[in-house]
Structure 1
């Protein structure tokens, strides 16, 4: 138990370093009384007293991302791929079956497709969920999947789709939204943006090279990826923790809403 607790603390610390602004990371090592005292001083200095600034911030076990990943793996290995795609996949001829806009994330076309999405959503989502709790990240993930299906309906109304790629793209842009929301407090912001942008441009560049240069049909739903990214960013701006509010951030949230 001691070893598990120790490793959990290390993961929590890593998540804080990846997601949190520097001043919020500093609070994590203090006792509850010290946190409240420091936050009260900061609130008085800024002439804003916010109850949320004095609540105890603790790490949370990321069970949503782990659970959804386990469910996707179990379904893939327990049932025929074709059956999963038929029952859960997005079908342009069955748009009236609204649940398919969400259940599309439960079906994958191949081992590579499954493990690529599972690996990336765990890598991206675990850190976010440890800091922002499962309700926020669950909302972002599911909204991104729905947004991907919705965008597919509008931009590629004859296309079929399976997989959780829209949810993964939503998580990518959720990291970007975290930086934007806490821009004034975030350290190494340009390094963080560079890392997120590098992943985005790598994915886009790889697909463009494969389809335009190599003339290789990738069967990738670009509309789904685009919809998941946009929805993930917009919802993240609305639901993620904003550790220190500024007027321009409130205006941005109204625009996103």
Structure 2
């Protein structure tokens, strides 16, 4: 009898503790993750995400890369003498970070160009996009996965530009930003029914409007504008978007799974490296700029 009473008493205490846990007020971090999960994940994955969600580590990658890009812009806009800083002048184009077609042997330029922006409008647009989208994505998928997608877009952007627009310089983080956009957009489209159709349509329309506006400005600067500044390639936008729609989609659709065990990931990686190898050989043997 005593043992039975003790057991029932213990069960009653456990029930009280569970009730307290369920009725405990949600923290600010909990509310943030609930909002993020509704934007970033299909319905059937949100509960699994919220069980493990926390604000640690913070979105270190996307914040760090944004600070680095802003710091480089401020350096060339303020410290290095410029006639104006809305659109940086000729001195700006001599820095060692920009991808220049006649300096493609300096291999770091294929990545470092992402740190350099040609004007206020250029950097503000990229920073807003990558922070608004990148921070929630990184909270869900963590920095190493966001970094993989972002850098895949950056490298794809410079290599594609060197192949399809080989006589034009390249600046800006658009390749990485469009990789994030491409991966997110593909997840919304593929999981459309699970991500609230009406809300899903709104998200797709917002992305299309933003991308369309940005691409319109890029095409205008490349082919229509007659300003004295050097022409800048827009091909990185397309290449970054494609990298995001392949590698990015695979990464973002497996937030709680091991990527190494997903055959889609290896198919995308194989296709990506095939393109990289082709672009490297093109730059070595066939590039028209000498």
User: Smaller-chain TM-score range?
Assistant: 0.7 to 0.9
Picking from 66, 73, 92, the partner of 1:76 is 73
Task: Say if 1:71 and 1:254 are closer, same or farther in 2 by CA, change over 3 A.
Answer: closer
Residue 207 of structure 2 is aligned to residue 196 of structure 1:
yes
CA distance in 1, matches of 2:205, 2:114: 28
Matched positions, count: 222
SS of 1:13's equivalent in the other structure is helix
SS of 2:235's equivalent in the other structure is helix
Instruction: Give deviations 1:93-115, integer Å, cap 9, x for gaps.
Output: 11122211111011112222222
> For residues 1-257 of structure 1, what are the structure 2 equivalents within 5 Å?
7-28=28-49, 56-59=52-55, 60-79=57-76, 80=80, 82=91, 86-180=95-189, 182=191, 185-188=194-197, 189-205=200-216, 215-217=224-226, 219-242=231-254, 256-257=268-269
Shift of 1:164: 0.8
Greater shift in the superposed pair: 8-17 or 183-192? 183-192
Shift of 1:243: 6.1
Instruction: Extract structure 1 runs of 4+ deviating beyond 2 A.
Output: 5-14, 23-30, 56-60, 78-85, 177-212, 215-221, 237-245, 250-257
Structure 2 residues without counterparts, runs of 5 or longer: 1-25, 81-87, 270-290
CA distance in 1, matches of 2:240, 2:112: 14
Normalised by the length of structure 1, the TM-score is: 0.73
The structure number with the bigger radius of gyration is 2
Is the 8 Å Cα contact of residues 166 and 229 (structure 1) preserved in structure 2? yes
Structural RMSD (CA)? 3.1
Instruction: Give deviations 1:125-178, integer Å, cap 9, x for gaps.
Output: 111111111111111111101111011000111111111111111111121132
Is the 8 Å Cα contact of residues 144 and 232 (structure 1) preserved in structure 2? yes
